[in-house]
Amino acid sequence: MHMVAKMHYESDLPQVQIAKQLGVSTATISRLLQRARSEGIVRIEVRDLVVPDALGAQLERQLGLRRVAVSESAPSGVAMALAGPLGTMLKTANMAPGSVLALGWGRTIRAVLEAGLPQIPGVMVVPATGGMSQHQAHFQINEFARIAAEQMGGTANFLHAPVLPSAESRAMFLSDPTILQTVALWDRIDVAVVGVGLPHSLNPPEASVATPDEQKMLNCAGDVVRHYFDAQGNPIDWDGADRLIAVSQSQLQKARLCIGVAAGEAKAPSIIGAARANLINALVTDSNTAQAVLRLLSGAA
């Protein structure tokens, strides 16, 4: 019976072919399949159709976000699937020549850049943080700005300063006219596109730039540009936060649209915390992640 069920439901063989291979009648195969279902060996499940637009509308209401775009989940390339919804959100964000787009870093941001951003001529692209010493591609924030500006037909503004300098050197970097000119754009951000980070306990080492103090945080739900928060959106301070050369929480909160780009069910608590912390006011995600967020919100309620 198990073999018949596997041949029919896993190998997708018709009952007539199974009967010929096993040397029995088609009626016998039919009876065996019915018995497999009745005994629970085979379970047929009809899943409810989930409409991404409906999920987006629910998330907007429950998280208090201005805009949410949800793509169909694509296990072979979820992050890449977010590029289309993100592009649509950017095209309808009323950016014009001279508008400032700030970019965060991370694997998901890199993936949507690889898929391509829409043409918005004249936009000014600026990194949301200083540079990082890690060599992996998803840490190359100035390169992100260059790629985005090239794709959009805009201008890249580079930040040649480390994200976490010493207290003594931070003032020196910020006194440089070129660096100061780039950092000044953070006060004019129209749209920001940022990743939503996992807690360090869940984040793989190669995806992290955390210091030992950051890694010791308790009750951390995630971060946006290394601004950490708990599940309720309360900020979590850490030794080094005052040395960051990065867009501030208040600057992100002033942006007309701060789009969190995140995929993965493990990020559900991080997305909720980021929204409650007002570090994002828009979200681009996939349907599986959206459902995980809604389940978590329902359980909390």
Q: Does 158 score more than 70 pLDDT? A: yes
Identify the pLDDT of residue 11.
Answer: 63
107 and 244 in a single domain? The answer is: yes
120 and 195 in a single domain? The answer is: yes
22 and 170 in a single domain? The answer is: no
19 and 132 in a single domain? The answer is: no
> What's 181's domain CATH number?
3.40.50.1360
Tell me which residue range forms the domain holding 21.
2-38
Per-residue model confidence as pLDDT tens digits over 117-144? 999 999 999 999 999 888 888 889 999 9
12 and 75 in a single domain? The answer is: no
111 and 20 in a single domain? The answer is: no
116 and 152 in a single domain? The answer is: yes
Q: Residue 26 — pLDDT band, cuts 50, 70, 90?
A: confident
156 and 19 in a single domain? The answer is: no
Distance, CA of 234 to CA of 251 (rounded, Å): 17
111 and 215 in a single domain? The answer is: yes
For residues 156 and 36, which has the higher predicted lDDT (pLDDT)? 156
